[in-house]
Chain A
Amino acid sequence: MRHFSKTARWLAWATAGALTLGLAACGGSEDSAEGDGVVTINYWGFSPKSTTADKYKKAFEDTHPNIKVNFRVVEITDYPATLRPGLQSDDGPDVFPLAAGGAIAGAFLFEDAVEDLTPLATEVLGADFKDKFGGGYVDQLTVNGKLLASPFVGVTAQYFWYNKDLFDEYGLTPPTNYDEMKAVCDAFKAGGVQCFVGGFGGDLPFGGELMRTIANSIEPGYWEDAIKGKKSWESPVITESVDILRKMQADGIIAEDAISIQQYPEANNIFQSQQAAMIQMGSWYAQYDPKDVSAEAQEAAGVTDPQVFTQLTMPAPDLSGKGNMPATLGEVDWGVAISKRSQHKEEAQEFVKWLTMTEEGQQFGCSVLEGVPTLKGVEPDWPNLNLSNPELQEPDIRHIIEDSLTTTETRNRWIGPETAEAILQLVQGTLTTTTSAAELAAKAQQMAKPLDGAADS
């Protein structure tokens, strides 16, 4: 039998102890229950943005002194890669946002990792809780009979937002078709102002949104049917959309290098700093209507002396000239989910309940104008919105909320990772190559993969 020296034995024990401690430190979670009975829950999300998150935190903690919320804002394009390992760890989020669909935060991608919120919704809102929410929002976040996230804000999209002050300065009115769009762009260009800014680089779907606007002006609803696999991407509707998008680039309506910038932050900065007159965004963009948020956004865009200006929505123009004004798209923008691994489910439920199932939380959410309220009967706190131009912007926001109740076409609900990538490549191929429209459409057809159940919806 070999005998080890004292030094060696000490070293072995020290090593074992250090490793045990180290592994324990790696595996265990930080105890988030403080001595005074206050529990901290972790929220990871691509929304709200950090300045708004502070307001949420204060509003919730003021009414729930025993729960603290630790917000961690994650860049939207990094969200899936951040969230997946987080949900497998004890140090991950307790609560987090999920969207109706899309490759980034589609609820169906996280089905196994979240609690079914049906019992909570039933307890708080009653068995008919579905009817308490508008717009089919509950169904959009329900997968295999489980409510994966409770609807927080809805989205209405396909609007063009325009800078009314710039339009007034140049004596222009919002365009309604391609020719008017071209004329408006020429007028702005002559004055050194960019007409329409789009950030089609990166993984966000804004290039696809514009192409969808074009396709919907050719044949309303075709794009959604292609997403669902009901119709082919290899179609004259898609090839014509490719041609029109290329024409817009050649005519200077969209910048030649739209692919090299991203919608956030670059395109947003260009619009907010009043260097461009139009941008395509959804209902969430009303968050820049208030004076203080607009000033913050301008400062973030490098403007040293922010000026109040009026941004408003206009319907997307009929870019194909076929007489079809593209309708708005709508669905639940995001809801709040609870991780199955949460160590503080009770407190997490309290947070979800307050934010999504009470008038107070819902009104708070829609008053920071991140989207339209999902709970029926809730409206923004109109007198305290501090809008840059209440006379025009309040009716505009009311109009957006009305649109959210009448839209029939979903935005991302049926888009999975493969289809999102197919659309991204379709747009990039359109704007950066000379590949024929037919080949691009064929490639999209090859890459896209409809989600289960999409064709039956």
Chain B
Amino acid sequence: MSVLNYQSRLADADAGPGSHRSHRRSGLAPKGYLWILPAFALCVGVIYYCVGYSIHISTLSWDGLSSHKQSVGLENYQRLLTDPLFWSALWHTLVFFIVVFAVQTSLGIVFAAMLHSKVKLAVVYKVLIFLPVVIAPAIMAPVHRNVLSQEGAVNWILSHLGLGSFTRSWLADTSTSLWSIVAVQIWSSVGVAFILFFAAMSQVDLDTLEAARIDGEGNIRALWHIVIPEVRGTIVALGILNAMAALRLFDFPYLLTRGGPVYSSEFPGVFIYREYAAAHAGYSSAASVMLLVIALLASVVMTLRARARK
């Protein structure tokens, strides 16, 4: 029974005999509003108030502290649209999203498929794959900085593989800093994709798989033609989650590179934080609002596309 139906019936019961028809016509009974009041008040009072306040600040020239607030209308937005740094941060977000999503999905499906077969010590592998998800970025950041440094483990491995010419300081190089953050994000989040796909694959019809086997399909073809179409919903969900994560990404870029060197790993989250810390609260808020609009558009587009495919 849905929540709305349940509330409607409760309302009918409270109103007494004879009221059933009128309340059914009006949909949600007046008393139903009272039941949703706590959540409604919380949402409007806290979340949307903050959004509204951010929109208000975005129209000001303000340092975020003083009593001197000058209204500048849409000037902050105009400036933002011509700020190459903001566009560069958005471009990095797009690249980050595409690569992380593609690799995370591929690895998640492969790991989940492998662990659905009879693998020895499967529990150990599951723990190993999922463990990075639960480690806080702040704890791992110094380790990543060390691993990716000139004297770090990555360069040590490359040197011992005879690939010494590829060694570099991965976070201090403008051509590799962004990719380093992408790699770290994949490392830390592939466990989520794995868990989602592992659960989704549990729902795949075994008879269909069995029939495919009888028809001579190999593992890869079965995975491609049967399993992946069955977990498409999970892929879409993961896509939306990744898009949101990319848009509000802050921790790894801030902790590893602070968006540098020379803004080569700049992301909107770091951009907004830096502008706020530099006493540009209005400009920083305009960037936040812009990001919110982009996030809403992205989620609408992805949801509509997912529905259209159904």
- On whether the two chains bind one another, the answer is yes
A contacts, CB < 8 Å to B: 2, 4-5, 7-8, 11-12, 15, 18-19, 23, 80-81, 84, 87-88, 103, 109-113, 201-203, 255-261, 266, 417-418, 421, 424-425, 428-429, 431-433
> Which chain B residues numbered 215 to 271 have a C-beta less than 8 Å away from chain A?
257-258, 260-264
Contact B262 A425 (CB under 8 A): yes
Contact B66 A111 (CB under 8 A): yes
Main secondary structure of the interface of B (DSSP, over half): loop
Contact of B169 among A103, A111, A112, A256 (CB under 8 A): A256
Contact A12 B66 (CB under 8 A): no
State whether A417 and B257 are in contact (beta carbons under 8 Å apart), knowing that A112-B66, A257-B149 are contacts in the complex: no
Interface-side segment among B35-43, B125-133, B158-166, B293-301: B35-43
Contact A203 B258 (CB under 8 A): yes
Residue of chain B at shortest CB distance from A427: B261
Contact A15 B41 (CB under 8 A): yes
Q: What's the A-B contact tally at a CB cutoff of 8 Å? A: 114
B45 within 8 A of A: yes
Please measure, in the bound complex, the distance between the C-alpha atom of A146 and the C-alpha atom of B148, giving whole angstroms. Answer: 48
What is the 8 Å Cβ interface bit string for chain B, positions 53-75, against chain A (1 contact, 0 not)? 00000000001111110000000
Please measure, in the bound complex, the distance between the C-alpha atom of A103 and the C-alpha atom of B30, giving whole angstroms. Answer: 55
Contact A257 B150 (CB under 8 A): yes
B31 within 8 A of A: yes
Q: A202-B258, A428-B260, A432-B262 are in contact. List 16 more A-B contacts (CB 8 A).
A: A2-B30, A4-B31, A4-B34, A8-B34, A15-B37, A84-B64, A103-B277, A103-B278, A112-B68, A201-B260, A256-B150, A256-B172, A259-B169, A260-B150, A260-B169, A418-B278
Q: Which residues of B contact A80 (CB under 8 A)?
A: 277-279
Contact A432 B174 (CB under 8 A): yes
Main secondary structure of the interface of A (DSSP, over half): helix
Q: Which residues of B contact A431 (CB under 8 A)?
A: 172, 261
Q: Which residues of A contact B274 (CB under 8 A)?
A: 421
B127 to chain A, nearest CB (A): 28
Contact A259 B65 (CB under 8 A): no
State whether A260 and B37 are in contact (beta carbons under 8 Å apart), knowing that A2-B30, A8-B31, A19-B45 are contacts in the complex: no
Contact of A259 among B64, B68, B260, B278 (CB under 8 A): B260
Contact A18 B172 (CB under 8 A): no
Q: Which residues of A contact B149 (CB under 8 A)?
A: 257, 260-261
B contacts, CB < 8 Å to A: 14, 30-31, 34-35, 37-38, 41-42, 45, 63-68, 145, 148-150, 169-174, 257-258, 260-264, 273-274, 276-281
Contact of B261 among A7, A8, A81, A432 (CB under 8 A): A432
Q: Which residues of A contact B264 (CB under 8 A)?
A: 432
Contact A8 B14 (CB under 8 A): yes
Please measure, in the bound complex, the distance between the C-alpha atom of A398 and the C-alpha atom of B109, giving whole angstroms. Answer: 67
B20 to chain A, nearest CB (A): 16
Please measure, in the bound complex, the distance between the C-alpha atom of A23 and the C-alpha atom of B41, giving whole angstroms. Answer: 11
Q: Which residues of A contact B281 (CB under 8 A)?
A: 84
Please measure, in the bound complex, the distance between the C-alpha atom of A410 and the C-alpha atom of B31, giving whole angstroms. Answer: 68
Contact of B279 among A15, A417, A432 (CB under 8 A): A417
Please measure, in the bound complex, the distance between the C-alpha atom of A213 and the C-alpha atom of B37, giving whole angstroms. Answer: 63
Please measure, in the bound complex, the distance between the C-alpha atom of A112 and the C-alpha atom of B62, giving whole angstroms. Answer: 12
Q: Which residues of A contact B30 (CB under 8 A)?
A: 2, 4
Closest 9 CB pairs of A and B: A257-B169, A417-B278, A260-B172, A112-B66, A259-B172, A428-B261, A257-B150, A432-B261, A5-B14
26 A-B residue pairings within 8 Å (CB atoms) = A4-B34, A7-B14, A19-B41, A81-B277, A109-B63, A112-B65, A112-B68, A201-B171, A201-B172, A201-B257, A203-B258, A256-B169, A257-B150, A257-B171, A257-B172, A259-B171, A261-B149, A266-B145, A417-B278, A425-B262, A428-B260, A429-B262, A432-B262, A432-B264, A433-B174, A433-B262
Please measure, in the bound complex, the distance between the C-alpha atom of A111 and the C-alpha atom of B257, giving whole angstroms. Answer: 31
Q: Which residues of B contact A260 (CB under 8 A)?
A: 145, 148-150, 169-172
Q: Which residues of B contact A424 (CB under 8 A)?
A: 260
Q: Which residues of A contact B262 (CB under 8 A)?
A: 425, 428-429, 432-433
Please measure, in the bound complex, the distance between the C-alpha atom of A428 and the C-alpha atom of B263, giving whole angstroms. Answer: 9
Contact B65 A110 (CB under 8 A): yes
Please measure, in the bound complex, the distance between the C-alpha atom of A201 and the C-alpha atom of B150, giving whole angstroms. Answer: 14
Contact of B37 among A12, A109, A111, A201 (CB under 8 A): A12
Q: Which residues of B contact A5 (CB under 8 A)?
A: 14, 31
Contact B65 A84 (CB under 8 A): yes
Please measure, in the bound complex, the distance between the C-alpha atom of A24 and the C-alpha atom of B19, giving whole angstroms. Answer: 40
Q: Which residues of B contact A15 (CB under 8 A)?
A: 34, 37-38, 41
Q: Which residues of B contact A4 (CB under 8 A)?
A: 30-31, 34
A288 to chain B, nearest CB (A): 21
B6 to chain A, nearest CB (A): 14
Contact A259 B261 (CB under 8 A): yes
Task: Please indicate which of the listed interface residues A110, A257, A260, A433 has the most CB atoms of chain B within 10 Å of its own CB.
Answer: A260
Task: Please indicate which of the listed interface residues B67, B169, B170 has the most CB atoms of chain A within 10 Å of its own CB.
Answer: B169
